[in-house]
């Protein structure tokens, strides 16, 4: 897989963004890599705050920073022109620039010149430096769970990370498999699925979760949504290449319209589960949904539990907010369906 090395400690660059949903890379690093983060660097006009210390480049260097990580995921991966002088100055000061956007910073003349005269490197996380195969569809050993969504940016990465931690805590061997730039930065390895030519997405997804021991789980970070016209292609390729034994549907209760296509409403959850089952059964007829992960941060605390209880009764599946409730309910169902039998040997119930 495409492994990167990020020198820590680092500073998270937020630029001048105004929408917090664009800062999901920075927010993920702030939560999962706290010990490596010195603070956030914001430009005038920035309205996003990750709750970190605001820090300048000079202060970052004085405090031992090694990297400036772009914590912004802009639509289309564009780079704002007023960010470039900051990046050039960071390179001049010997900091690495860790870039998770589609734009290759190493091709921008100002940054090319800055890199030539400094020890700082440009690290493009989303650029795959290898030849990828097409998918084989071969059934691989081990077990796989994919997080899928009603839309993009609804908690697929966070759910996968929390579930991996919860499974390991219960003695079930599990590995988080990163398929996006933030996940790769957190895990230290992975493949940027949304940067791969469409013919090879499923093949790359197979490489992401290779053969493993019979009871080992690969918890695969999902991308996009089958219901989002902007990103459904990568979602389908990842679904077929992952060949999941199970999936968890992720949903944001505050979302009413598809984020990039407001003419489309968020799908009914039962319909969403069924479509994923129908599509996933092409490569794994035994696939099942083992729960729904719901971002309830927009709900009044007094109404949150009632909503989840009603949803669970309706879908007959565990429905929790992993960042509040944890993933124990998912782990319990996974253990029951895949790791129990009369003989005590792991198996998937029919």
**Quick check: is 350 in a domain?**
no
Which spans in 179-250 are helix H?
181-187, 201-208, 232-242
Whole-number pLDDT of residue 1: 56
My answer on whether 110 and 47 are in the same domain is yes
**Contact by Cβ (8 Å): 84, 15:** no
| Domain that residue 178 falls in | 143-338
User: Which pLDDT score is estimated for 60?
Assistant: 95
Whether residue 268 is found in the same domain as residue 170: yes
Q: Are residues 24 and 107 in the same domain?
A: yes
Q: Please indicate, yes or no, whether residues 285 and 168 belong to a single structural domain of this protein.
A: yes
* Residue 222 counted as domain residue: yes
Residuewise pLDDT in 10s, the chain (350 residues): 555 678 889 999 999 998 888 898 999 999 999 999 999 999 999 999 999 999 999 999 999 999 999 999 877 677 889 999 999 999 999 999 999 888 889 999 999 999 988 889 999 988 887 789 999 999 999 999 999 999 999 999 999 999 999 999 999 999 999 999 889 889 888 999 988 999 999 999 999 999 999 999 999 999 999 999 999 999 999 999 999 999 999 999 999 999 999 999 999 999 999 999 999 999 999 999 999 999 999 999 889 999 999 999 999 999 999 999 999 999 999 999 998 743 334 444 44
99 inside domain: yes
* Residue 231 covered by a domain: yes
4 found inside a domain: no
Q: Do the domain assignments include residue 343?
A: no
**pLDDT (tens digit per residue) in 159-181:** 999 999 999 999 999 999 999 98
33 and 84 belong to one structural domain: yes
Are 307 and 176 within one domain?
A: yes
Q: Is residue 230 domain-shared with residue 310, that is, in the same domain?
A: yes
DSSP-assigned states of every residue in 246-299? EEEEEEETT--EETTEEEEEPPPHHHHHHHHHHHHTTT-TT-EEEEEEEE-TTS
Q: Which of 124, 151, 168 is the last residue of a domain?
A: 124
Assign 103 to helix, strand or coil: coil
Side-chain-facing half-sphere of 231: CA atoms under 13 Å: 23
Same domain? For 180 and 243 the reply is: yes
d(CA 259, CA 20): 13
* Residues 103 and 156 placed together within one structural domain of the fold: no
Same domain, 181 and 306: yes
What CATH number does the domain containing 61 carry?
A: 3.40.50.720
* Same domain assignment for residues 172 and 240: yes
In a domain, 2, yes or no: no
pTM assigned to the model = 0.86
Output the pLDDT for position 117. Answer: 85
Which candidate, 174, 168, 107, places its Cα nearest to that of 147?
A: 174
Residue 203 contacts residue 135 (beta carbons within 8 Å)? yes
Q: Are residues 56 and 196 in the same domain?
A: no
With respect to residue 300, please indicate whether it lies within any of the assigned structural domains.
Answer: yes
Per-residue confidence (pLDDT) for residue 342, from 0 to 100: 38
**Domains of the chain: total:** 2
């Amino acid at each position: 897989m495409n492994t990167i090395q990020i020198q820590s400690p680092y500073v998270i660059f937020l630029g001048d963004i105004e929408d917090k949903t664009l800062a999901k890379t920075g927010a993920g690093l702030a939560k999962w890599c706290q010990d490596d983060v010195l603070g956030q660097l914001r430009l005038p006009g920035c309205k996003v705050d990750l709750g970190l210390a605001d820090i300048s480049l000079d202060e970052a260097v004085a405090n031992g920073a090694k990297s400036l990580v772009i914590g912004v995921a802009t639509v289309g991966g564009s780079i704002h022109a007023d960010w470039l002088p900051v990046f050039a100055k960071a390179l001049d000061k010997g900091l690495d620039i860790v870039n998770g956007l589609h734009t290759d910073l190493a091709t921008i003349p100002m940054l090319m010149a800055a890199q030539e005269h400094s020890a700082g490197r440009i690290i493009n996380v989303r650029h795959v430096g290898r030849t990828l195969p097409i998918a084989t569809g071969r059934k691989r050993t081990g077990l796989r769970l994919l997080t899928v969504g009603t839309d993009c940016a609804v908690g697929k990465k966070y759910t996968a990370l929390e579930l991996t931690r919860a499974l390991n805590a219960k003695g079930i061997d599990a590995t988080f498999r990163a398929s996006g730039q933030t996940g790769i930065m957190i895990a230290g390895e992975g493949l940027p699925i949304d940067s791969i030519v469409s013919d090879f997405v499923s093949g790359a997804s197979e490489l992401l979760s290779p053969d493993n021991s019979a009871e080992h789980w690969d918890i695969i970070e999902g991308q996009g949504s089958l219901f989002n016209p902007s990103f459904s292609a990568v979602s389908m390729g990842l679904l077929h290449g992952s060949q999941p034994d199970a999936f968890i549907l992720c949903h944001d209760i505050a979302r009413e319209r598809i984020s990039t296509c407001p003419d489309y409403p968020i799908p009914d959850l039962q319909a969403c589960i069924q479509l994923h089952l129908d599509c996933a059964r092409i490569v794994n007829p035994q696939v099942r949904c083992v729960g729904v992960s719901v971002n309830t941060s927009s709900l009044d605390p007094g109404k949150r539990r009632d909503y989840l209880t009603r949803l669970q009764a309706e879908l007959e599946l565990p429905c929790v907010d992993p960042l509040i409730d944890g993933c124990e309910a998912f782990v319990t169902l996974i253990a029951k369906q895949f790791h129990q039998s009369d003989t005590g040997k792991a198996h998937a119930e029919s």
